[in-house]
């Protein structure tokens, strides 16, 4: 009996956790008062996509490529989805991108004469938090890629 009760409680909590964000549309259900202090009064079209890089070769520069969509091997040879290309010399590195899209980032490092690529991606979205702030208020969530070398 105790086991069945635990199972039912687990299912209910899981359902609430999954359905709550879905049921709110573009309303962000976990906003805090501090989000209200730093929000946008109208829905933004672009937002900062943050790329974390390793300090190891920043002085030489790290090639940063941002692609629209989930990364595929084809993207290495086809630049049709490439929306940004630059050499970064600081971290974190920010790129302004359109919201409500998934972006993939490739950071290319040269270490001891060898080229290493690190790939990560994320979706960046704008959410309304009007019910939390009692005024038109938009926040940006997501838009982070961890492209640090792991060795």
- Residue spans of the domains in the chain: they are 31-147
pLDDT one-digit tens code per residue, 122-139: 999 998 887 778 788 899
For the whole model, what pTM was predicted?
0.75
Poorest-pLDDT segment among 13-22, 38-47, 109-118, 136-145 = 13-22
Q: Is the Cβ–Cβ distance between 21 and 114 less than 8 Å?
A: no
pLDDT of residue 23: 42
Name the β-bridge partners of 97. Answer: 47
């Amino acid at each position: 009996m105790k086991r069945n009760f635990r199972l039912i409680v687990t299912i209910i909590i899981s359902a609430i956790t999954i359905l709550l964000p879905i049921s709110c549309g573009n309303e962000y259900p976990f906003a805090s008062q501090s989000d209200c202090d730093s929000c946008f009064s109208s829905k933004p079209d672009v937002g900062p996509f943050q790329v974390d890089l390793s300090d190891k070769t920043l002085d030489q520069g790290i090639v940063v490529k941002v692609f629209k969509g989930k990364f595929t091997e084809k993207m290495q040879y086809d630049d049709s989805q490439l929306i940004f290309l630059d050499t970064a010399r600081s971290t974190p590195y920010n790129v302004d991108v359109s919201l409500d899209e998934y972006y993939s980032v490739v950071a290319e490092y040269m270490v001891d004469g060898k080229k290493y690529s690190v790939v990560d991606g994320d979706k960046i979205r704008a959410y309304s938090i009007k019910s939390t702030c009692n005024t038109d208020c938009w926040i940006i969530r997501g838009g982070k890629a961890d492209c640090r070398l792991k060795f």
